[in-house]
Structure 1
Amino acid sequence: MARRLDPHESALWKKVAATVDPLTKSRAPTELAAPPTVRPPQASPRSIAAPAAPAPPPRATTKLPPPRRTHQAATLDGHWDRRLRKGLVRPDMSIDLHGHTLASAEALLDDAIGRALLRDARVLLVVAGRLRPGADRLPLMHGDPRPRGAIRASLPDWLALSRHADRIVALRPAHISHGGAGAVYVILRRGRG
């Protein structure tokens, strides 16, 4: 059984209906739609006797990747940055990625960072070659080799997504005595205790 709208509800409905534009131009704008009828929910005998079904367990949400770290923009204290720029910091370890594919270079870098952390090293020198202009913007096309400098261009992304990303403090260009534009320093956080 449908319930009729009381006069207050009917007046409110007319105000709302007057603000709506009709879908077709054939209907006159002054013509109002009939107010809807409100039907109370009907209780079925089954819904009264049956207990409410338990709520389904919350769905497992997919784990989002951790926020991406940018080690190039990370700040070191001024003393460290000055010493790195002047070449006064001697790397604790070094690794040369020349001649490797992107996949093998990434694996080798990850392994070297793991070894450096085990040795409690602070500065890892990564020699990767010079970054050629536009090397980071050119896509890989059907197995074609990447342009020169692709390993160097990929370093920031590899470090940001590394399993050791939380132990990497910063990424800085190497001094000319350590390879200059063809190398970078990876500054690592030493272990506690």
Structure 2
Amino acid sequence: MAGRRLGPDEEALWARVRATVRALPGRRNDPLPPAKAAPAPEKKVKVAPVRVAAPVRLPPARKREPGQTLDGGWDRRLAGGVVAPDRIIDLHGHTLASAHAALDHGLAQAAAGGDRVILLVTGKPPRAGSERPHARGAIRASIEDWLRLSRHAGAIAAVRNAHPRHGGAGALYIVLRRPRESNF
């Protein structure tokens, strides 16, 4: 939907506002487009000076992506292989499409069943020095995107590499958030 074009005075005002904005860490500011020569306005509009207040810090928006919200105790227990998974989703022998469907179905069952830790068996990724062309590791390479774009992404607290006793490099732990209790 295209809006109206800014007049020369509005463009100048907008340029002053944009000059006060800083990019968030890890982001870049887009440079201002070069000012276009516009015909002189017939009427002179008096623009009041703009007072720029200190930037308002808004609370971070709630992310819908899988989080990284585990405390150190969880991380130590997962890294030590102490936590027993509540559910195992094994994607061996699946095509990309069937693996994606199995992952979605497994996450839905785990969330409905109140499970906290899921062991996702994906198979080991191909070695970096592998010379032969192959499609091995395609499921493992897709897991991050599938989880981030999943309808269950908001329920995922963290994704961690599995302990060797649970599959090591061929598996991942998916830790689900605790279900919120309703106050009805």
Q: Could you list the runs of 5+ residues in structure 1 that have no partner in the other structure?
A: 1-35, 41-65, 135-144
Counterpart residue type for residue 94 of structure 1: I
Partner secondary structure for residue 126 of structure 2: coil
Which position in structure 2 is the counterpart of 1:23? none
What is the CA-CA distance between 1:132 and the residue it aligns to? Answer: 1.7
1:172 paired with 2:166, answer: no
Counterpart residue type for residue 93 of structure 1: R
CA offset digits 1:81-139 (Å, max 9, x no partner) = 000000000000001101101011001000000000011000010001011246xxxxx
How far apart in 2 are the matches of 1:115 and 1:174? 21
Which position in structure 1 is the counterpart of 2:65? 69
Matches within 5 A, 1:1-193: 69=65, 71=67, 74-133=68-127, 147-193=135-181
Partner secondary structure for residue 148 of structure 1: coil
How far apart in 1 are the matches of 2:79 and 2:139? 22
Partner secondary structure for residue 173 of structure 2: strand
Counterpart residue type for residue 162 of structure 1: S
Question: In structure 2, do the counterparts of structure 1 residues 104 and 77 end up closer, same or farther at CA, with 3 Å as the change threshold?
Answer: same
- Note the aligned Cα RMSD (angstroms): 2.6
Question: In structure 2, do the counterparts of structure 1 residues 38 and 190 end up closer, same or farther at CA, with 3 Å as the change threshold?
Answer: closer
What is the CA-CA distance between 1:39 and the residue it aligns to? Answer: 8.2
Identity of aligned residues (%): 55
Question: In structure 2, do the counterparts of structure 1 residues 67 and 146 end up closer, same or farther at CA, with 3 Å as the change threshold?
Answer: farther
| Maintained 8 Å contact 1:168/1:188 | yes
How far apart in 1 are the matches of 2:63 and 2:88? 28
TM norm structure 1:
0.57
Runs of 4+ in 1 over 2 A off after TM superposition: 36-40, 66-71
Question: In structure 2, do the counterparts of structure 1 residues 189 and 39 end up closer, same or farther at CA, with 3 Å as the change threshold?
Answer: closer
How far apart in 1 are the matches of 2:139 and 2:97? 9
How far apart in 2 are the matches of 1:124 and 1:81? 15
Q: Which has the larger radius of gyration?
A: 1
Higher relative contact order, structure no. (Cα contacts within 8 Å, ≥ 6 residues apart): 2
Q: Could you list the runs of 5+ residues in structure 2 that have no partner in the other structure?
A: 1-38, 44-61
Size of the alignment, in residue pairs? 121
TM norm structure 2:
0.59
How far apart in 1 are the matches of 2:152 and 2:81? 25
What is the CA-CA distance between 1:176 and the residue it aligns to? Answer: 0.6
Question: In structure 2, do the counterparts of structure 1 residues 165 and 70 end up closer, same or farther at CA, with 3 Å as the change threshold?
Answer: closer
